[in-house]
A and B are shown apart, each in its own frame.
Chain A
């Protein structure tokens, strides 16, 4: 049984920030609670106060327009994102990614904000959101700030969030025409287990559908945070899609990562696998971009 904490239920972001300012390190924000409660059940983490933001209205939404792109409220569940018509139409790779998060029961409870703030590099959404150039809006007592997702993660379970700040929104810029994306994960145990390697690729083709005008690669389970494969992206940008180019990109991405081995695969295995998955992921994204 999990006990020994006081549950605080603010009705606004401002009130939540004020509670976090007051209790500092003794308090922790909780949304769906899926990941945090595992830590608490194992008695790895014993906060004095849990600040539940689930009662705050106005943080559960999906909005899209051409100028501002996509905006998702922090309390939007994985299931809502997976089923959103807007997301399926404008960002199908996001719908595919969120469909792969845990089971349906988990997707009905877990939120996009909680997922990102938990900062586990093995979760599904971060690589895709990185490849889509996502940003997060953060609110604190001193005002708002917007942070690129690639600057948000610091280490396992650590972000740049200050103790009294709350992530309130995820922003994804609109994709240019002839853009396609793919998200693939590979686990060495069961299909729904934590991945050994995960990769998201977003490819934009030129008007003749010949040249890789832009390629963005997000990686997970390969470092203490989800990361972008910037060297590989630079190599692929402006090149024609060919087998030998993909082969070279596969070699570059293997060299670019410096994984930490875990129960799902050794460092050497992960380096090898990310090369294999890069070829698959970029090919899938390329084919979708060309449709």
Chain B
């Protein structure tokens, strides 16, 4: 399943990059993010709780940075599990920041997501619909924090 989204932030690219690379700052922008542990400079353990349909899910994810080119490009591999539904998730993510002007940045991301187990039977369109909604909430939260303090 491919998820591609983009949004703009009225802030310089360096500032957006620094914000997104700081898990303590950007973590709270991720809807349902309950905990981020920094294991080393390239590995994070993340707990996210979301509700898809009327089903509450808790994902325990390991996120590893596989390629980084500051302040414009980041690639990560996220793997994890959802124990309630005996499901696994794997996502290969690419993040790009494009400077639209001195004070405006386009954030685009692309995730190739694979679902295994019961979660997969819920339907790709359902998961994709939820991902779009969470993406919009994340963009709004990032804008709230960066544009106010810009």
Contacts and interface: CB of A to CB of B under 8 A. Distances in A.
A224 B125 CA distance: 8
A152 to B, nearest CB: 15
B133 A155 contact: yes
Contact of B54 (A45, A224, A260, A262): A45
Contacts of A155: 129-130, 133
Contacts of A28: 54
Interface stretch (B12-20, B96-104, B115-123): B115-123
Given A25-B56, A44-B85, A158-B54, A260 B118 contact: no
Counting contact residues on chain B (CB < 8 A from A), the size range is 10 to 19
A28 B118 CA distance: 20
Of B122, B129, B130, B132, most buried by chain A (CB within 10 Å of CB) is: B129
A260 B121 contact: no
A156 B122 CA distance: 11
A42 interface: yes
Contacts of A43: 118
A261 interface: yes
Nearest to B55: A45
Given A28-B54, A44-B55, A260 B129 contact: yes
Contacts of B123: 156, 262
18 contacts: A25-B56, A44-B53, A44-B55, A44-B85, A44-B122, A45-B53, A45-B54, A45-B55, A154-B133, A156-B53, A156-B126, A156-B130, A157-B126, A224-B125, A224-B132, A260-B132, A262-B124, A262-B125
Interface of B: 51-56, 85, 118, 121-126, 128-130, 132-133
Interface of A: 25, 28, 39, 42-45, 154-158, 223-224, 260-262
Given A44-B53, A155-B133, A157-B126, 11 more contacts: A43-B118, A44-B55, A44-B85, A44-B121, A45-B54, A156-B53, A158-B54, A224-B125, A224-B132, A260-B129, A262-B123
